Amino acid sequence: MLTNRLYSPILLVAALVVCCTSCSIPSRSDIPKLNPDTADSLAPVATINMSPLYTKISTKGGQYLADVQDQAITVTNLLTQNNITLQAPNAKSAVMSSCGKLLASSSYTDPISVWHLPNSTPNYLNGAYEPIASMLFSEDTSLMLALDTKKMIYIWDLTSYDLIALYDFRSWPSENRQISSIELSPDNSHFAAISADDIPAIKICDLSEPDNCRTIEWPQSARQFYAVEFNTNWTQLAFISGASAQLFNISTNKLGPLLTHEDAISNWQFTPNGDILAIYTAGTINQHYAALIKLWDTSTGENTQTFMRSKYTPATTINPQGTHLATSSDTGHIHTWNINSGDQEAVYSHTHINTEYLSLAYSPDGKLLAAVDTTGTITLWDTKTHQQLAIRSAPNILPTTLDFSLDGHWINTLTANDEVTIWKPSDNIK
């Protein structure tokens, strides 16, 4: 599933990506910005071996990577390659904020610690909690949620580090059923507890009214439940199951359209305004079985657009504004499409014939499209003029995925051998 939440490893190989973040990333005049004017100076500045990557945590496009050990957490600044050691006795797990600036760790013995990176002195979240099962920062980093093994949910104000709310879910959905995850709405008005075992259920609580909680039950399906996905403003959610997505209107507490597909759903994502649910699947068009991207109107359930792919690859992405879609083909081209009209706007070609692309990514402002192919070459295009801006590669580096930093100033790539490379424009260009 594609989400806008924290993940490990640092880069996620995914078929369909919609990037959006409400974090405020401070702009620094001393760092050259990656844009159409500076793209031609893009060059690798550092390669870091992160093996084994599965022990690390980071955020999408974040500056820091953390390695959680028994007594300490080693944080690596990807831009400077400097390390910070955080003392974390008996560390059990850790999470980062979506901005990548805050890090929290739980312990078997000590209170939850919260660091404002690169500061190595933590603040502590006190409470009579049991071992922590899950932690979550709000997108604006003002709140911290934690779920303990007794199904108690704690909420702290990170401006004062005071415990401001406590929810007892020990008997929900039943005493012997677990809560698999917790979610927080982007505006911090509601949180959700999700129980995915047996018959999945969701408890949604209004933080302004502590007693105002309601349960949404999973509509029965013949296929196995995959996941639940909220739209950005939490007015609607989608239950994903097999080849179907069941929409649910949270405000009216009623089922919405059922979106059905010929084959199983592999990736899904609401566009930023929530009007469209993009789904990556497979199906038959004109007697040809192919990979498909289907766009659904979330109010009517109408399939507004279908984009066929002759080859099933992860090189597909939606820009952060939710207006354009880019897909690669097995003929060495990248096609860009207008999501609203369905019209193809441009075809980007590579100098190498029949180039196979492994990953595509838009910059946060949508002005650049970057691609990495099977030769390890990175190519950038201007999405307004559709002009090819740069082709870059580095010796002995064969990246398989790439992503822009949160502020769009640099690119990081990942190889199959867990090597992270940072690519920046020249320091002499502003």
Q: How far is CA 225 from the centre of its chain?
A: 21
Residue 383 lies in a domain: yes
pLDDT at position 32: 64
Q: Can you tell me which residue has the tokens 């006795």?
A: 89
Residue type, 354: N
Cβ proximity of 78 and 412 under 8 Å: yes
Smallest CA-to-CA distance from 9 within 377, 418, 400 is with: 418
In order along its 430 residues, the chain shows pLDDT tens digits of: 222 222 233 333 334 544 444 455 554 545 568 999 999 999 999 888 888 887 889 998 999 999 998 889 999 999 888 999 999 999 889 999 999 999 999 998 899 999 999 999 999 999 999 999 999 999 999 999 999 999 999 999 999 999 999 999 999 999 999 999 999 999 999 999 999 876 889 999 999 998 899 999 887 776 778 889 999 999 999 999 989 999 999 989 899 999 999 999 988 999 999 999 999 998 888 888 888 899 999 999 999 999 877 666 668 899 999 999 999 877 778 999 999 898 999 999 876 667 888 999 999 999 999 999 988 999 999 999 999 999 999 888 899 999 999 999 999 999 988 899 999 998 765 5
Q: Which residues of 11-23 are buried (b: 16+ CB within 10 A; e: fewer)?
A: bbebbbbbbbbeb
Show the domain range for 165: 39-424
CA dist list (Å): 136 to 5, 56, 400, 407: 9, 17, 29, 22
Smallest CA-to-CA distance from 275 within 345, 366, 340 is with: 340
Residue 289 lies in a domain: yes
CA dist list (Å): 195 to 147, 199, 202, 361: 12, 8, 6, 33
Tokens coding 120 = 């190595």
Residue 46 lies in a domain: yes
Burial of 254 (0-12, 13-18, 19+ CB in 10 A): exposed
pTM above threshold 0.75: yes
Beta bridge partners of 225: 241
Between CA 430 and CA 419 the distance in angstroms is: 28
Length of the chain as a residue count: 430
Domain count, the chain: 1
Residue type, 163: L
Residue 390 lies in a domain: yes
Q: Can you tell me which residue has the tokens 């399939």?
A: 303
pLDDT at position 17: 46
pLDDT at position 255: 92
Smallest CA-to-CA distance from 115 within 185, 64, 181 is with: 64
Between CA 200 and CA 178 the distance in angstroms is: 10
The torsion angles phi and psi of 54, rounded to 5 degrees, stand at: -70, -15
Residue 173: is the preceding peptide bond cis (ω within 30°)?
yes
| CATH code, domain with 393 | 2.130.10.10
Smallest CA-to-CA distance from 216 within 177, 254, 261 is with: 254
Residue 384 lies in a domain: yes
Residue 18 lies in a domain: no
Residue 203 lies in a domain: yes
Kindly state the DSSP code that residue 86 receives in the 8-state scheme.
Answer: E
- Give the helix/strand (H/E) hosting 221: none
3-state secondary structure at position 10: coil
Residue 3 lies in a domain: no
pLDDT at position 210: 85
